Structure 1
């Protein structure tokens, strides 16, 4: 089960991304394109081109985690 702090902001990317990217690549994409850094306490949700899968990137205090 995922537990999230109440102060966690969740952002959803509306454009599909290349799902071959890892956590670091998606975090860099979020920072450059969306202007939100997952290492600053936000979660960013990305979707695949067919919109049948999602990846969530969030900083857990010790490193980036991709769900």
Structure 2
């Protein structure tokens, strides 16, 4: 399924997840640990403890889908202490899928207050 980039919500789970979990286990994690609605159409991203595997759960109006990716070299994230459960944007997810960890960037200048 293809998503319009501006309209999709992506939620990253901030704890390591056992990659043996499938549809029901990931659904339960979204519902109980993240306190979110798995049927909302948002993407829910889960990463294992070694940070070399990722699963993405989403509902596409007919059933649940799971994307899975394993990096042969490298890690999706460098330090679990810096990761929290949060909403990320579509671009950050694409970078994460490529093994590039997005960092928060500071503006080089301050915008004028109106």
Q: TM-score, normalised by structure 2?
A: 0.54
Residue 28 of structure 1 aligns to a residue whose secondary structure is helix
Measured after TM superposition, the shift of residue 38 of structure 1 is 2.0
Max Rg structure: 2
8 Å CA contact 1:24–1:64 kept in 2: the answer is: no
Which structure 2 segments of 5+ residues have no match?
68-114
Measured after TM superposition, the shift of residue 47 of structure 1 is 0.1
Residue 29 of structure 1 aligns to a residue whose secondary structure is helix
Q: Which residue matches 1:60?
A: 60
Which structure 1 segments of 5+ residues have no match?
none
Would you say 1:10 and 2:7 are equivalent positions?
A: no
Determine the C-alpha separation between the residues in 2 that align with 1:35 and 1:66: 19
Larger relative contact order, structure 1 or 2 (CA cutoff 8 Å, min sep 6):
1
Residue 24 of structure 2 aligns to a residue whose secondary structure is helix
8 Å CA contact 1:36–1:42 kept in 2: the answer is: no
8 Å CA contact 2:19–2:53 kept in 1: the answer is: no
Runs (4+) of structure 1 moved beyond 4 Å?
Answer: none
